[in-house]
Amino acid sequence: MTELTTDRLLLRPFRSGDVPAVHAYAGDPEVVRYMEWGPNTLAETEAFVAEAVRPAPGVHLFAIDLAGTVIGAVQLRVTSEAHARAEMGYTLARSAWGEGYATEAATAVVTYGFDRLSMHRVAATCDPANVASRRVLEKAGLTYEGHLRGYLLIRGARRDRLLFAKTR
């Protein structure tokens, strides 16, 4: 299993013992406000971590570890091997917001996609109201490409997404 390091973070495979740390952010309504999942019950978090320990082929899922504490997750999912495309996403505990950790993790995973997986394009989306996430994507080198209207159904309501991407 791959590990990535940044100046302050270790991006590592998930472990079964990560459930309490993951549930601390996955069960927080403010953290998942713009997500299509959550807030998680403990059972949902346990199921996520069980899957995360053994991700599906093409899914590169990392726990964001700060000095031995899991503060979030970042993922790169290969969406087309033939076209060398992937999508990236991240989640960060509220206590870790505003410190640059999301940008650091996102940048590392985008670089990993290009350098280690030979991707040509890495894309990500965020909710138009999530200004902080938009800033993370821009700082990670992704460029705004468009507005996807009614893209997701979240808790019974249609939500738009902004599309960002970076090419090799």
pLDDT tens digits, one per residue of 17-46: 999 999 999 999 999 999 999 999 999 999
Q: What is the dihedral of CA 164, 9, 1, 59, to 10 degrees?
A: -20
pLDDT band at 1 (very low <50, low <70, confident <90, very high): confident
Q: Give per-residue burial for 104-117: e unless 16+ CB within 10 Å, then b.
A: bbbbbbbbbbbeeb
Between CA 63 and CA 86 the distance in angstroms is: 18
Residue 23 pLDDT: 98
Domains in the chain: how many in total? 1
Mean pLDDT of 107-121: 98
Residue 96 is part of a domain; what is its CATH number?
3.40.630.30
Cα–Cα distance between 50 and 59 in angstroms, integer?
14
Note down the domain range covering 97.
4-167
